[in-house]
Amino acid sequence: MSNNKDLRGSRGLADINHLPLRTNMSCYCLAPSGLTLEAGDKNDVETAGATVDTVIDGLFYSATALADENVTLFRSEDDSVLQAADTTCYYVFTIDASDAVRLYKQVDGVAAYPAIPETGEAPFAVLKVVTVAVTFTPGTTDYDASGVTSTFTDVRNVPAAVV
């Protein structure tokens, strides 16, 4: 017989004191969004599905599909908007309860995803951009421009290691 006395009086997520763990459990995407570059305007993104379904701070949200979404950089780990030539950089797309999409950038050349807010936003896709002899600026440069290779990956949470 198990001893469940430790569970009595639990307040759910509020009882988890380790903030990264609580964030991982309370802000996430429920299904693949199919994020890709927008067919007509290649510096924009769109989703393949009808909605982007997430859990944000423990509550369910369903955002309308993204179409022709010009997502500019919200925050960079090194305050640089521009990705330098001949570098690899990792980005994270998030969405909040009001359907605002944000993009976070890691430092060029660092093989890790950038930090995102601990509450209020759910990651739903990551992006790897490799530049060869050109620079890249999210929301301005086409994701498939000459010398730019962009790889979009749907995620539930920010992966522990880059993909």
**Which pLDDT tens digits describe the chain residue by residue (163 residues)?**
455 555 555 555 555 565 555 555 678 899 999 999 888 889 899 998 889 999 998 899 999 988 888 898 898 888 889 999 999 999 999 999 999 999 999 999 999 999 888 779 999 999 999 999 999 999 999 999 999 999 999 999 999 899 8
Closest CA to 117 of 75, 81, 149: 75
- Domain spans in the chain, listed from the N-terminal domain onward: 16-154
Calculate the alpha carbon distances from 19 to 24, 34, 50 in Å: 9, 29, 32
Contact (Cβ atoms closer than 8 angstroms) between residue 121 and residue 94: yes
Calculate the alpha carbon distances from 138 to 3, 55, 60, 158 in Å: 53, 26, 29, 19
Cβ neighbors of 129 (< 8 A, separation 6 or more) are: 83, 88, 89, 90, 91, 136, 143, 148, 149, 150, 151
* Element at 126 (helix H, strand E): strand 121-131
Q: Which two tokens stand for residue 123?
A: 């990651």
Contact (Cβ atoms closer than 8 angstroms) between residue 78 and residue 107: yes
pLDDT confidence of residue 154? 95
SS3 7: helix
